[in-house]
Amino acid sequence: MGATVVEKIFSMKCHRDVNAGEVVMAPVDNAMIHDITGPLAIQKFYEMGGKRVHNPERITMLFDHQVPADSLEAAENQRYMRNFAKEQGIFNYDIREGVCHQVTMEMGKAAPGEIIIGADSHTCMYGAGGAFATGIGSTDMGFALKFGALYFRVPETIRVTANGVFKKRVGPKDLILSIAADIGADGATYQAIEFVGDTIEGMGMAGRMTCCNMAIEMGAKAGIVPPDHITWDYIRGMRNITPFPLKSDNDASFSEERMYDVTNLSPQVAEPHNVDLGVDVTKVAGKKIDQVFIGSCTNGRFEDFAEAAEVLGDRKFSDTTRVIIIPASRQEYLKTLRAGLIERFVMAGALVEAPCCGPCMGGAFGLLAPGEVSLSTSNRNFKGRQGSTEASVYLCSPATAAASGIYGEITDPREVE
């Protein structure tokens, strides 16, 4: 029997054949902590008798959820982490670089065949780079900081094959929303989702990140795209790694296989209050919205803003809708700035913020009042996710978000010439 790409990664790290379902202690190549989960992880490290972290060079630290510090508690947490970084010799990106997941990828902290952990559920995004990447709790992170390894139950794999070419104004976010609606919010619980097919192969890294980012929204432990020339070209700019083959064997055992044809896929919108409530945009078109958010680790890259700007053209955003745009990192901000898109968005009436999580978590700014409606390119729309539990959040692509921001209501981007 052959092996899946996930089984192969664990086999390489454990230096023996490892099968799905086994519980193994495996070394981690990188551990990421940020300003929300980091303080508790550090506390657990000390409670376990930690004196020195296992390897400071394998720890990525940054602040993104509440930056700049928006409360005294946030300021104290960030100071606590800064002191820990200084004490342990950990390089701290602090508030300078942006959202943890985007920064981890663009700094080359996740590469094919590696095991990456992060004290944040959307760590699974790094699977776009061919790594096994998964979110963990603060207690597990404290253990990993001390020992440089962690217990894992090697997950089974659901293979998702997507074929076909997207039509205009349809893209990776629409695909992953449709997949989430099909598999369900708990349909992939503690499994890995392997994304393959000519649609995936035709995506750039930005689209692959979007898909892997939302694997957790189906309960998955990880999302992964087997590395190809696009992956290695991306990694080559940051890491000196000789490319090697890494893909599932033809006779590998999958828990499930699902096929999708994107040829006739329409723009998708996830209705409140679950990510798996995806519908065709035409079913919710005309819904009045109070806020549009384009950004987050799911859709805060230059490619996303270029798509939104193409839809916007020389129009302005509706005076009845506040539009918040936040690049996911400093690098993505500068790409967007140099392309002239920041000015275009500002002139159209948008508020463009420095790289951070912003409204996504609902803990810093851009909060919703009771009864308000948000249309967001982020990854979650649970009650209270962006403010009041009496508010509603719809999820969509950058194209749909931009079109809707123009008219102040959910709008099919294909209708905007």
Task: With 0.85 as the threshold, say if the pTM is over it.
Answer: yes
Domain map (residue ranges) of the chain = 5-260, 272-415
**Direct distance between the N- and C-terminal alpha carbons of the chain, in angstroms, rounded to an integer:** 52
Cα(289)–Cα(281) distance, integer angstroms: 14
Specify the pLDDT at position 361.
81
Binning pLDDT at 50, 70 and 90, where does residue 22 land?
very high
Helix ranges restricted to H, 59-150: 72-88, 100-106, 138-147
With a CB cutoff of 8 Å and minimum separation 6, the contacts of 74 are: 35, 66
pLDDT score of 364: 76
CB-based burial of residue 71 (10 Å sphere; 0-12 exposed, 13-18 middle, 19+ buried)? exposed
Homologous superfamily in CATH for domain 272-415 = Aconitase, domain 3 (3.30.499.10)
Indicate the SS3 state at residue 66: coil
For the stretch 61-100, pLDDT in tens is 999 998 998 899 999 999 999 999 999 999 999 999 999 9
Closest to 161 in 3D by CA, of 262, 245, 20: 262
Give me the CATH topology for the region 5-260.
Answer: Aconitase; domain 3 (3.30.499)
Say what the pLDDT of residue 362 is: 73
pLDDT at 184 over 90: yes
pLDDT in tens, 227-250: 999 999 999 988 889 999 999 999
What tens digit of pLDDT does each residue of 368-394 get? 999 999 999 998 898 888 888 899 999
Dihedral sign for Cα 161, 199, 296, 125, please.
positive
Q: Which of 366 and 212 is assigned the larger pLDDT?
A: 212
Query: What is the C-alpha separation between 329 and 414, in angstroms, rounded?
Result: 29
The average confidence (pLDDT) of the chain is: 95
The per-residue pLDDT for range 137-181, each reduced to its tens digit, is 999 999 999 999 999 999 999 999 999 999 999 999 999 999 999
Looking at per-residue pLDDT, the higher value among 348 and 367 belongs to 348
5-260 and 272-415: identical CATH topology? yes
